A and B are shown apart, each in its own frame.
Chain A
Amino acid sequence: MRICWMIVCLWITHVHAVTHISVSADSISYDNIVLQQPRAKLDLQSGQQVKVDAARLQIGAATLDKPQIFLNVSRHPTLLVTSSALQSEHYQARNPTILLDYRTHPTQPILSLDAEIKATGDEIWGTFHLRCLVPPQASLQTWQCHDGLYQDVRSHIPFHVQVTPTLKSAAGATSLARGMEVMLNVNQARFSDAAGLHAGENLTGQIRLSAYEQADGWRWKGLFHWTQGELFWQPFYFAEGGKRFEISGFYQAPYLDIEQAQLSLDGVGTLHSKSRINLVSKDFELLTVNATDVDFNGVYKAFIQPLVAKSVFGSLNVSGKADWSFEAKGLQPLKFNLHIIDASVEDQNGKFGFSHFNANIPWDYERPQQISMGYQSGHVLQIPLGETKWQAEVNRFSITAPQLRLPLLDGALDFQDFSAAWINQSMVWHVKMDMQPISMRSFSQALGWPEMRGQIDGEIPLVTYANHALRMTGEMQFKLFNGKVGMSDLEIVDPLGAVPKLHANFNMRDIDLGEITRTFNFGSISGKLEGDVRHLRLQNWKPVYMDAVIQTADGPFEKKISQRAVENITALGGEGTAAALQRTFLRFFKEFGYEKIGLRCELRGDICKMGGVENVPDGFVIVKGQGVPAVNVNGYTQYVSWKDVLSRMQRVTDSNSKIIIK
């Protein structure tokens, strides 16, 4: 103990007896306790009261402002320390009181701590209370602290804690090592931050910590066991307890080595981790995590789903097992391995699903790795996917595959020269695709459409995706209805954004009208169809611009149209469209000859300017008849809203069963 500058005053009353002795000093220091400008006053009349006022009491890193110390030195002494405020780095306390009371147990005093506290930067004050029984040998025996309670408007945390100073002989050391064991029990605790995004209810559990000093640092061990209650830590939610976290390591400034961390979660499995943290720079110098044979569903529900809740992967039913490992240095990933064993994934909205899914995805910052994944069967929407096995090479942040085959219905998509990379936090990829013919029969069946004949067959030249835009170079071709449909100049800007924008040109040649009309039960038209859709623009997948022409092709083939098809075309033309059927006798004919049939639409915004194969006064010709018997269909409404065009098409394809010819 060091005392600087001491002054002693004696207070003498009129009867010349000494009533008080005052002692003041500049500072008194003991161990890491410093009392600044203390002034002690001993009441000689009672002989038992000492009162000490001081400017400041420093205990370690904590500072008590204007402390008052009352010491009652009777046979059962008490020591009460009060202050206006306590300041420390992370916490603030006001009106702290510390009471050391020997009145109940002369050998085991009760130490009570009370204060109003709050975290620095928080706005809400809470009350803290703890009562400890100080053992006769305070530096060797267990301190039992009961009735611990922290509470504020949002939190209520009852706890008790047991602290045991230890002396043990460490392996190889000659002297005893000083240490400490702490056991903290929390019972039915509830807490929340102001926003309610970090909160717990009914939390019950135990924390055991032990540490002892070694020559060059501290060896420590911790066990966190959470038995019940629920916890929400944005965006993760854990319910029903059953979690156990064991951690042990070594501390030598500035490094905290976590040599073994083991997190056991009921229904998930066990996760092992090792890390080295620099407490000064707050850097993870090394981090390894590995988990073997964990339940994929448990991992998905606890960790993946909350992170991807809004994406297409946000509502899956999954099953299976997974092995996972991860290694990083200074938060820069070094190695990664994910091994998924016989999993199944099914979107709850039925958009996609895979069964017997296996994947082996290694990744190494230093060297390229081969990844493989595959599934026995799957589906996208209602389209079934056949057994698939993919292999690719992953090199740092890029992935390449010379050949990927995706069996689909009775055909397949063959991707070639696929490559993708993460550049500046955005995805860039390109691919070519060939198609193994898929029959229209299986395709239409899968989508629940009318059964179609023919096949989809074609190739996709180079498709690239960069700067949030997808572009296709060259022309994509499909073989449909014995003819060809080509798409070129495809560009989709921001396909996954709020308002995707698409631009494309289409052309159709040699489409067999007989096939189409039979498929859609439209009546029957023989001949060939051709068409061009120039500058189709979709915004948010709705058309806003196009110049479209579809018409019958010229050629030496039969050109016949059935009565029913005429009625349907009339309905398509809408109000003001008139079939110049001389109904009186033409209704007896089942089919008519035609020269040409065609419709045009110049779409600007929501309005379509309609046209046909020829103009007539106040209108246009949709069906131009030829031969005997012949029929003409004319349209007279030139401007139609796109919504009306769609609803007409809907009506025609829906109501084909009731064609009435008068």
Chain B
Amino acid sequence: MTRYIAGVFLAFCFMAAFSHAQAAADLNVNTPAVAAVKAAMQARHAQLSAYYQSGAVGLTVEGFVAVKDASLVPLSQRGALAGLVNDENTDRTHLYQGIAAANGHPEWEGEIQRIFALRWIDKAQSGWFVQREGQWSRK
């Protein structure tokens, strides 16, 4: 019962944080920095989507991507896979920072990151792996 109450309480906190930032932050703000990061991420997506589909890479609850099962990728391509994941996460960090900075509130970064994490998971295609409560599940 206490776990249930704690869960409901957490959900409320989450919704409050979500609706607050939604109301306050412009998530579609476009500065040259944000546009450059978005363009780089878009270009990378073509390479990453095959890995999402195969389950080698999944979306984490923190708004990043992670290698979920490297064994699906031949050894000769593991270096490239690690590089892609690393670059994507660097860009995602820059994206969250950039949007927060463009809104004039660098301290919103964490909140913006949480909202994006939900968005990415929501937008994930069926068959992709997403992380929920520390566990990977197929969407």
The majority secondary structure among interface residues of chain B is helix
- Tally the A-B contacts, defined by beta carbons under 8 Å: 62
Could you say which residues of chain A place their CB within 8 Å of the CB of B32?
Answer: 499, 539-540, 542, 544
- A230→B79 contact, CB < 8 A: no
- A232→B78 contact, CB < 8 A: yes
- B79→A196 contact, CB < 8 A: no
Taking CB as reference atom, which chain B residue is nearest A153?
B71
- A232→B36 contact, CB < 8 A: no
- B71→A498 contact, CB < 8 A: no
- B78→A197 contact, CB < 8 A: yes
Could you say which residues of chain B place their CB within 8 Å of the CB of A199?
Answer: 70-71, 75, 78
Could you say which residues of chain A place their CB within 8 Å of the CB of B102?
Answer: none
A239 within 8 A of B: yes
- A192→B71 contact, CB < 8 A: yes
Taking CB as reference atom, which chain A residue is nearest B70?
A196
Q: Distance (Å) between the CB of B17 and the closest chain A CB?
A: 28
Taking CB as reference atom, which chain A residue is nearest B37?
A498
A658 within 8 A of B: no
Q: Distance (Å) between the CB of A351 and the closest chain B CB?
A: 18
A245 within 8 A of B: no
Q: Distance (Å) between the CB of A239 and the closest chain B CB?
A: 7
In chain A between 302 and 324, which residues have their CB closer than 8 angstroms to a CB of chain B?
A: 306, 309-310
Could you say which residues of chain B place their CB within 8 Å of the CB of A196?
Answer: 67, 69-71, 73, 78
Contacts known (A192-B70, A231-B75, A498-B94); A310 close to B33, Cβ less than 8 A: no
| Selected contact of A197 from candidates B36, B37, B70, B87, CB within 8 Å | B70
Total residues of chain A contacting the partner, CB 8 A: 25
Q: Distance (Å) between the CB of A199 and the closest chain B CB?
A: 6
- B79→A309 contact, CB < 8 A: yes
A215 within 8 A of B: no
B8 within 8 A of A: no
- A310→B73 contact, CB < 8 A: no
| Selected contact of A310 from candidates B35, B70, B75, B87, CB within 8 Å | B87
Could you say which residues of chain A place their CB within 8 Å of the CB of B71?
Answer: 154, 192, 196, 199
In chain B between 50 and 84, which residues have their CB closer than 8 angstroms to a CB of chain A?
A: 67, 69-71, 73, 75-76, 78-80, 82-83
Could you say which residues of chain A place their CB within 8 Å of the CB of B82?
Answer: 197, 234-235
In chain B between 105 and 131, which residues have their CB closer than 8 angstroms to a CB of chain A?
A: none
Could you say which residues of chain A place their CB within 8 Å of the CB of B35?
Answer: 540
Instruction: Provide the bound-state CA to CA distance between A540 and B67, in Å.
Output: 31
Could you say which residues of chain A place their CB within 8 Å of the CB of B94?
Answer: 498
A415 within 8 A of B: no
Q: Distance (Å) between the CB of B78 and the closest chain A CB?
A: 5
Could you say which residues of chain B place their CB within 8 Å of the CB of A239?
Answer: 75-76
Could you say which residues of chain A place their CB within 8 Å of the CB of B75?
Answer: 199-201, 230-232, 237, 239
Could you say which residues of chain B place their CB within 8 Å of the CB of A498?
Answer: 33, 36-37, 94
Instruction: Provide the bound-state CA to CA distance between A659 and B32, in Å.
Output: 38
Q: Distance (Å) between the CB of A603 and the closest chain B CB?
A: 14
Instruction: Provide the bound-state CA to CA distance between A197 and B79, in Å.
Output: 8
27 pairs across A/B with beta carbons < 8 Å? Answer: A154-B71, A192-B70, A196-B69, A196-B71, A196-B73, A197-B67, A199-B71, A200-B75, A230-B75, A230-B76, A231-B75, A232-B75, A232-B76, A232-B79, A234-B78, A234-B79, A237-B76, A237-B79, A239-B76, A306-B79, A309-B79, A309-B80, A309-B83, A498-B33, A499-B32, A540-B35, A542-B32
Extra inter-chain contacts (8) besides given A200-B75, A232-B78, A539-B33, CB under 8 Å: A154-B71, A195-B70, A199-B75, A231-B75, A237-B75, A309-B83, A310-B87, A544-B32
In the A-B complex, the 9 residue pairs with the closest CB atoms: A196-B70, A539-B32, A232-B75, A499-B33, A232-B78, A540-B32, A235-B79, A540-B36, A230-B75
